[in-house]
Amino acid sequence: MSISAQAGTAAPARAHDVPRAAGVARAGTVAAALGRTARRFPLTLCVLVALTAARTSQDVDPSLASRLEWDTSTTIPQMVHHPLRVFVGSVPWLTGASLPLWLLLVVVAVGGLEAAVGTGTALAIVMIGHVGATLVSEGVLGLRVATGRLPSSALDVLDVGPSYVVACALTATMVLANRRSLRMVAGLVLAVVAPDLVSGVTRWDLDGVGHTSAFVLGLLAGAVLIRRRRRHLPGTRRRPGQGTDRPAEPEPDPELRSSDPRPVVPAPVP
């Protein structure tokens, strides 16, 4: 075969490889972007994956999923005997709720909080909100049973889901987010979902009390962190024994401060 014939057959092959190479490059770019997002928002990604996996198990094997839901339900007896299992394992289960809706709420609430304060602090805040709201709501339920206002069978309730996590993260994001747009989005979502989540609080319902507690705990956590931030701002450091939050007086310039406290008297002219 002549050289011109070889060139004629090789050129179309190289032209055919151009779209393939472009597709590989685009896939690599998308993979890199996903990797950066996963490294920046690992907590949000874990919650999204857990919710999706739990809903998949409910669709594939409903009986197994039902047993797991009851095994991780945050009832008073299970919190006493298996606290870690129920506090962590109860989060991903959605009982009849829309998965896409909750995925969106997690992105806005948990993702916004993670962007504002980092993964470690966001995890601490949502766990405080989830555990605290559960203890308050179950405590109120137990008190109502102990006083005879509810039968003892009311303690055997299926109490699972990510709503306490989302509620706490929403209010904390409103307080802690530096970007105004993020605070506005969190506030708008809160205005939409809050009326339904706290609707039963006046009747001391389990969910109403729990969601209200989660909202309040998120606000308190945000207020505490804001106070700590202000204490560490330049010019707000307090001196020992100073009991107020007023800015400390500026330190004198060391170059203008004499090492000898005695006044300097000029020598007499002979």
CATH number at residue 107: 1.20.1540.10
Q: Are 138 and 98 in contact (CB under 8 A)?
A: no
Count of structural domains, the chain: 1
Domain assignment present for 148 = yes
Report yes or no on 47 lying in a domain. yes
Q: Is residue 181 part of a domain?
A: yes
- Torsional sign, CA 139, 142, 147, 149: positive
**Tens-binned pLDDT, residue by residue, of the chain (270 aa):** 444 444 455 455 555 566 666 556 566 665 666 667 777 889 999 999 999 999 999 999 999 999 999 999 999 989 999 999 999 999 999 987 889 999 999 999 999 999 999 999 999 999 999 999 999 999 999 999 999 999 988 888 899 999 999 999 999 999 999 889 999 999 999 999 999 999 989 899 999 999 999 999 999 999 999 888 787 666 555 544 444 444 555 555 555 444 444 444 555 554
Find, among 125, 146, 130, the residue nearest to 92 by Cα. Answer: 130
Is 30 inside a domain boundary?
Answer: no
Whether 258 is in a domain gets the answer: no
- Residue range of the domain that includes 155: 42-231
Within a domain: 264: no
The CA-atom distances, in angstroms, between 253 and each of 232, 239, 259 are 21, 17, 12
Q: Model-level pTM greater than 0.85? A: no
CB-CB contact of 197 with 211 (8 Å): yes
- Residue 266 is given by DSSP the state P
Q: Is 25 part of a structural domain of the chain?
A: no
| Residue ranges in the chain assigned as alpha helix (H) | 3-40, 42-60, 62-71, 76-81, 83-89, 99-117, 119-146, 163-176, 180-197, 206-231
Token pair of 13, please? 């092959």
Look at residue 69 and tell me if it is in a domain: yes
